[in-house]
């Protein structure tokens, strides 16, 4: 867990909650985009690389470069997903009838992504 990103979560989480209150995200990809945009401002949300070797279930690996001309640091978010609402957290949330459960669940997914962000490689950041 990278403290800087978690601190940014605390400072800006209400912006995300308000956004999701008005418009639910369509996918994990959109949640990752929102996490990078709102909480990881030094990372480049326009250059997120997605590795998805699954079919209808599996994992997605998001690789995100730092925001600069020639990035030397990359970060990752790893998401496990399933094939149905019984095993896929996002799909289960979207089937709920209670808006509070959906919103709380989306915020929890986003927080877990912030907490899961890791620096790729053996770089030391000052």
Is 79 part of any domain?
no
> Which stretches of 33-105 are assigned E, i.e. beta strand?
49-51, 58-65, 74-81
Whether the pLDDT of residue 54 is over 90: the answer is no
Confidence band of 125 (pLDDT split at 50, 70, 90)? low
How many domains in the chain?
1
In a domain? residue 81: no
Q: Look at residue 109 and tell me whether its pLDDT is greater than 80.
A: yes
pLDDT band at 91 (very low <50, low <70, confident <90, very high): confident
Give the pLDDT score at 55. Answer: 72
Domain limits for position 35: 3-73+89-119
Kind plus residue range of the DSSP H or E element containing 38: helix 28-39
pTM greater than the 0.95 cutoff: no
**Does any domain span residue 38?**
yes
Burial per residue of 36-63, b for 16 or more beta-carbon CB atoms within 10 angstroms, e otherwise: bbbbbeebebeebeeeeeeeeeeebebe
Q: Which pair of structure tokens corresponds to residue 36?
A: 């990078």
Q: Does residue 13 lie within any of the structural domains?
A: yes
**Burial (Cβ within 10 Å: 0-12, 13-18, ≥19) of residue 22:** exposed
99 located within any domain: yes
């Amino acid at each position: 867990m990278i403290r800087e990103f978690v601190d940014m979560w605390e400072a800006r989480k209400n912006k995300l909650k308000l956004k999701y209150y008005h418009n639910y995200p369509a996918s994990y990809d959109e949640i990752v985009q929102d996490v990078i945009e709102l909480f990881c401002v030094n990372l480049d949300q326009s250059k997120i690389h997605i590795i998805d070797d699954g079919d209808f279930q599996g994992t997605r690996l998001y690789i995100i470069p730092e925001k600069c001309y020639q990035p030397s640091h990359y970060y990752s978010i790893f998401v496990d997903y399933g094939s149905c609402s019984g095993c896929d957290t996002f799909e289960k949330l979207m089937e709920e009838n209670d808006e509070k459960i959906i919103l709380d669940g989306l915020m929890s997914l986003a927080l877990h992504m912030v907490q899961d962000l890791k620096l790729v490689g053996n770089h030391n950041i000052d």
